[in-house]
Structure 1
Amino acid sequence: MKAQSLSQRLNWTIVGMTLATLVFSLTFVMAAYSLLFQFAPKLLSAEDAILPGPVEWGIYSVCIVLGGIAASVVATRVARRMVEPLEALAEAAREIAGGDLSARAVLSAPAPTEASQMIADFNAMADRLEKAVDDIVTWNSLIAHELRTPVTILKGRLQGLAEGVFQPEPTLLRSLHHQADALARLVEDLRVVSLLDSGRLQLRSVEIDLAAEIEGLARLVERDLAKAGFGLRMTLASGRCVADPVRLRQAVLALVDNAVKYAAPCVLEIVTRVSEAEVEISVIDRGPGMPDSLARRAFEPFRRGEDVDVKSGSGLGLAVVRGIAEAHGGQVSYAWRDGLSVFAITMPRRPST
């Protein structure tokens, strides 16, 4: 049954109470007069009397009292039905204000449309608030965990230099620079993921030649890939699309970096495909692949395999890729095919208007 709006329910209640009171009054008066005419006609006022007699005044008084009682009972029940959602809402708000973020407003009976919608909106807001607080607690813990290792290493090395335990040799300085660089990348990844989750990442989209962008990026990473024992093969389909080139390069670099960290040395392949409606960028490596339990959640922040060394990365790279793809109106996916791990970014050639 479709719930009535508050104004409709009020209107129908007032009309119903009025009609019911009139019907009750007429019925009571007619019944009382019928009894008087039949059993005590002398108690009725004379035909030429202007005002009713005492007995008739009594009938009218009893009719008014009974009608008032009936109307009060109905009005009280209707008011309770209308006020109950507000009381439930106020009680839940007090519990949330007191720190119980799991509190929700619950209706024990159907309510008017406006009240039901208000309760639903309040509970949805409470759900988002509880999730936001849980996310803050989780993120604070994860961020502290991720920052602990590079900060501890930097602190130890710098303290050793200050006390003369270590000599400022090029190897040590390069190690410190590497840790500082890893720390800077972690902070940047955290910033990007936070902006993406809050929907505040601003893209500076322009029309680009996708193949030219990817080819230029690949040439920059060839030397580092060679040092890590990886080759590079590119299969680039030419086509133009509208995207933020800086963010797009960041996403592809994150996929390449992910392959270098977790895949066995192989020939890394970057493939682009262009259709009428969308473009796809794939980074393909030779495994070892991800188990199904991890693959389903690999693009969430701080997700790693159980056998992965925590020092190998922050666990944010794939989350950054997903966020950048979604910011462009696209998506990122992972597939294991014929011994190959395929990470693909798919997005529209033109942003939707």
Structure 2
Amino acid sequence: MQDAPESAFTPVAGLADAVPGFSPDEMDAVLRRCRALEEELRTIQAIQLTAVEQAPVGILVADARERRIRLASLKGLGLLGKDEAVCRNAPLHSWTLLHPDGTPFAPEERPLERAMCHGEVVETADALIVGLDGQQRHVSINAAPVRNGSGEIVAGVSVFLDITERRRLECQRTQTLTFFAHDMKSPLMGALALTRRLLEGKEGPLSGRQVENLEMVASLLDRVLTLSMDFLDVARMDQAGFTLAREPVALAPVLQALVREYGRRAEDKGLAFRAELDQNLPEVLGDRQRLMRMVANLLDNAIKYTAEGAVAFTVRRHGRELELCVQDDGPGLSQNDQDNLFEKFFRGDAGKGSEGSGVGLAAVKAIAQAHGGRVIGQNRPEGRGALFSIWLPLQAS
């Protein structure tokens, strides 16, 4: 265990005689009180040291002036790969810190440096630590500055969670689902094409009941195919293998087709559906199928999680950006939802107990970013429900 600081109190001989107006008994009482307070302080420090050492996460406390480690949890020492004798007082850059793609952090990029140099509070920075033993571990890092009474930064605290096993399991699950989705893609497309051929009457006339049943089959096949494509896109984004089939896309007919389809779905559920599209929407250079799927995922979620009320879809141009906005009258987003909204396989609080894969919003984010855009999810400012906005830069499309 790391020792608590030495006592700062040293009795001074003849102190009672040096303080006019105090009797020896009064000075003895003051000195006894000082000793009691000092002992209480040392006890508090020992508790704090033990709490840090035994914490189930990695904790490092660094001196801001000398840039050296002053205190570390046992978990932190384990992640760094050395014992206390080696790590205590070690320089901050004694181990390698890498971005998830394997490129090194520049010294000024390191979370603890950002906290001590600029006073930043860094949250959930994803990184790879190469410890002093050469072992590489995947961690999520938080860091914050420590200030004295004058507001000067005197230290920095870094808390890091070992997520190596979690990342390994995620990778394994992604690979399994990718193989499955890839193998399912061709037969699904074949079955959907055959169903549409039947609906078009190319194999003979159909009764009204047959048309109704085949439309239901086509809808279900289309949903499973969309899910398979979402899995593949999310996996390819992780593996840097995400490429777009770029072509000029006339947005108006694409979005109007989605409005008709999801307007019917909302109506079937007893919901109002409002759509407002700017006139003269621009033609963009992008992947038509993925753009449709990106918007369809948001509309599908809005209808799924709205029990009553309305779903609204608006598309507006703001200078060199296009905003596609979907809002609903559903339960909205909890804080946990907002923190993890676009993570792979994350199921929001409202989605627990209902069907879903947890990849739809991750696919929306992947497609938006591949087009040079971004997606934002939040609660509606005026009240109940969620609001999702996709922003696409027109000049990059």
TM-score (norm 1): 0.52
Q: Which segments of 5 or more consecutive residues in structure 1 lack a partner in the other structure?
A: 1-100, 148-169
For residues 82-93 of structure 1, the aligned pairs below 5 Å read none
Displacement after TM superposition at 1:286 (Å): 1.1
CA contact (8 A) 2:246 2:286 kept: yes
Alignment of 1:201-220 (within 5 A): 201-220=242-261
Aligned to 1:258: 301
Kindly provide the CA deviation profile for residues 44-96 of structure 1, in whole angstroms up to 9, marking residues without a partner as x.
xxxxxxxxxxxxxxxxxxxxxxxxxxxxxxxxxxxxxxxxxxxxxxxxxxxxx
Change (3 A) 1:183 1:252: closer
Alignment partners' CA distance in 2, 1:116 and 1:273:
43
Match of 1:239 among 260, 270, 281: 281
The two structures have a TM-score, normalised by structure 2, of 0.47
1:342 aligns with 387
| Higher RCO, Cα 8 Å, sep 6+ | 1
Which residue in the other structure is 1:10 paired with? none
* Segment drifting more, 172-181 vs 238-247: 172-181
For 2:169, the equivalent position in structure 1 comes to: 137
Alignment of 1:147-162 (within 5 A): none
Segments of structure 2 that go 5 or more residues without pairing to the other structure are: 1-77, 106-127, 140-161, 181-209
Aligned to 1:323: 366
Classify the secondary structure of the residue corresponding to 1:296: helix
Q: Deviations over 1:87-130 (max 9, x none)?
A: xxxxxxxxxxxxxx9666999978xxxx9999958957945699
- Residues 331 and 350, structure 2, Cα contact 8 Å, conserved in 1: no
Residue 291 (str. 1) matches residue 323 (str. 2)? no
1:271 pairs with 293, 300, 314, which one?
314
Question: In structure 2, how many angstroms separate the alpha carbons of the residues matched to 1:119 and 1:176?
Answer: 48
> Partners in 2 of 1:292 and 1:262 — Cα distance?
17
What is the Cα deviation at residue 184 of structure 1?
4.7
Q: Select the residue among 267, 277, 283 that pairs with 1:226.
A: 267
Larger Rg: 1
Cα distance in 2 between the residues matched to 1:287 and 1:300: 21
- Deviations 1:166-220, CA, capped at 9 Å, x for gaps: xxxx999999998877655443322121012222111122333333321122123
Whether the aligned pair in 1 keeps the contact of 2:271 and 2:308 (CA below 8 Å) is: yes
Q: Distance in 2 between matches of 1:243 and 1:142?
A: 26
Identity %: 27
C-alpha separation in 1, matches of 2:165 and 2:277: 44
* Structure 1 residues 1-353: aligned runs within 5 Å: 123=129, 126-127=136-137, 134-138=166-170, 140=172, 184-237=225-278, 238-240=280-282, 241-306=284-349, 308-335=351-378, 336-339=380-383, 340-351=385-396
Q: Distance in 2 between matches of 1:325 and 1:246?
A: 13
Q: Compared with structure 1, are the counterparts of its residues 138 and 347 closer, same or farther at alpha carbon in structure 2 (3 Å cutoff)? A: same
Partners of 1:284 and 1:119 lie apart in 2 by 39
Partner Cα separation in structure 2 for residue 268 and residue 222 of structure 1: 9
Q: CA shift at 1:280, angstroms?
A: 0.8
Distance 1:308 1:350, change over 3 A: same
How many angstroms apart in 2 are the aligned matches of 1:267 and 1:119?
47
What secondary structure does 1:284 align onto?
strand
Q: 1:242 to 1:264 in 2, by over 3 A?
A: same
One-letter code aligned to 1:338? E
Q: Which has the higher helix share?
A: 1
Root-mean-square deviation over aligned CA pairs: 4.3
1:348 aligned partner, one-letter code: P
Q: Please report how far the alpha carbon of residue 132 of structure 1 lies from its aligned counterpart in structure 2 after TM superposition.
A: 7.5
Paired residue secondary structure (2:351): coil
User: CA separation of 1:262/1:143 partners in 2, compared to 1, >3 Å: closer, same or farther?
Assistant: farther
In the alignment, the residues of structure 1 paired with residue 390 and residue 247 of structure 2 have an alpha-carbon distance, to the nearest angstrom, of 18
Quickly say closer, same or farther: Cα 1:264–1:278, change in 2 above 3 A.
same
| In 2, Cα distance between equivalents of 1:119 and 1:327 | 21
Secondary structure of the 1:345 match is: strand
Q: Size of the alignment, in residue pairs?
A: 228
The 8 Å contact of residues 322 and 393 in structure 2, kept in 1 or not, is answered as: yes
Judged with a 3 Å threshold, the aligned counterparts in structure 2 of structure 1 residues 204 and 134 are, in CA distance, closer, same or farther, namely same
The one-letter amino acid of 2:169's match is: V
**Of 121-130 and 337-346, the range deviating more from structure 2:** 121-130
